[in-house]
Structure 1
């Protein structure tokens, strides 16, 4: 019976560690996605400005 409790305790520790690791990885991935969104927003704004400049030049 003691061996079963020990195995259950070890399993609980492993599950808790896995949960902690998964949350950490999720947080890291979200952080990187936020960085990518910011880059895409900056590039998108620059493209819009270039497009407006091209339209202004073409309308002359």
Structure 2
């Protein structure tokens, strides 16, 4: 039981180190975050304006009865 707990704890520590590394990378690249935010704003505007999609009702044809 203790050996299994030791293994699980080691795996959890590895995952935590990876996550902290990811967080550290994001903090070092604030411009990348700003770029992602701008892309998200653009996508939101496009979605709300209906660019690239038909805003009318859709009809889905089913099997004949």
Give the TM-score taking structure 1 as reference length: 0.50
| CA RMSD in angstroms, aligned pairs only | 2.2
Is the alpha carbon distance of 1:34 and 1:53 closer, same or farther for their aligned partners in structure 2, counting shifts above 3 Å? same
Structure 1 stretches of 4+ moved >2 Å: 55-58
In the other structure, the counterpart of 2:2 is: 26
Instruction: List gaps (5 residues or longer) in structure 1.
Output: 1-24
In the aligned structure 2, how far is the partner of 1:37 from the partner of 1:27?
15
In the other structure, the counterpart of 2:17 is: 41
Q: Which has the higher helix share?
A: 1
Give the TM-score taking structure 2 as reference length: 0.46
Tell me the alpha carbon deviations over residues 12-59 of structure 1, each in whole angstroms, 9 at most, x when there is no partner. xxxxxxxxxxxxx0000000000000000000000000000017878x
Instruction: List gaps (5 residues or longer) in structure 2.
Output: 35-65
**Number of residue equivalences:** 34
